[in-house]
A and B are shown apart, each in its own frame.
Chain A
Amino acid sequence: MFGLMTAAIDNILLAPALAQASAGEYLPAAAVVALCAVAAFGTVLLLPGPREGALRKIGGGVLLAAGGVLAGLIGRGDAADPAGFYFWFFAAVATIGAVRVVSHTIPVYSALYFLLTTLAGAGLMVLLWAEFLAAALVLIYAGAILVTYVFVIMLAARAQQEHDTHSREPMLASAACFAILGVLLVVILQKGSAPAATGDIAPAASPDATRTLATELFTDHIVAVELAGVLLAMAMAGAVVIGRRGAPPLAPLAPATREIIGDDNPHNIPVYGIDTARRRQA
Chain B
Amino acid sequence: MNTFGEPLLQRYLVVGAVLFAVGLTGFLTRRNLIIMFLSTELMLQGVVVNLVAFGRYHHNLAGQAFALFLLVVAAAEAAVALGLVVLLYRRRGSIDAEAWRELKG
Contact = CB atoms under 8 A, between A and B. Distances in A.
B52 A95 contact: no
Interface string B19-49: 1111111101111101101110110010011
A153 B82 CA distance: 10
A156 interface: yes
B103 to A, nearest CB: 14
A197 to B, nearest CB: 5
Given A95-B15, A137-B71, A153-B34, A102 B80 contact: no
A32 to B, nearest CB: 10
Contact of A114 (B7, B14, B41): B41
Nearest to A215: B61
A149 B34 contact: yes
B36 to A, nearest CB: 10
A169 to B, nearest CB: 7
A101 B42 contact: yes
Which of B6, B13, B15, B77 counts the most A-chain CB atoms under 10 A from its CB? B15
Given A98-B22, A155-B86, A235-B79, A47 B29 contact: yes
B69 A228 contact: yes
B17 A201 contact: no
Interface string A220-256: 1100100010011011101110110000000000000
A124 B15 contact: yes
Given A152-B82, A239-B82, A200 B2 contact: yes
A111 B38 CA distance: 7
Contacts of B28: 168-169, 172-173, 176-177
A149 B78 contact: yes
A157 interface: yes
B92 to A, nearest CB: 11
B75 to A, nearest CB: 6
A60 interface: no
Given A84-B1, A242-B83, A174 B25 contact: yes
A201 B60 contact: yes
A177 B59 CA distance: 31
A189 interface: yes
A200 to B, nearest CB: 6
A38 to B, nearest CB: 14
A121 B60 CA distance: 20
A199 B61 CA distance: 13
Contacts of A41: none
In order of increasing CB-CB distance, the 9 nearest A-B pairs are A102-B26, A235-B76, A163-B96, A181-B21, A173-B28, A242-B83, A239-B83, A163-B31, A184-B17
Given A95-B18, A107-B35, A130-B63, 8 more contacts: A48-B30, A87-B12, A129-B56, A153-B34, A164-B32, A191-B6, A231-B76, A239-B80
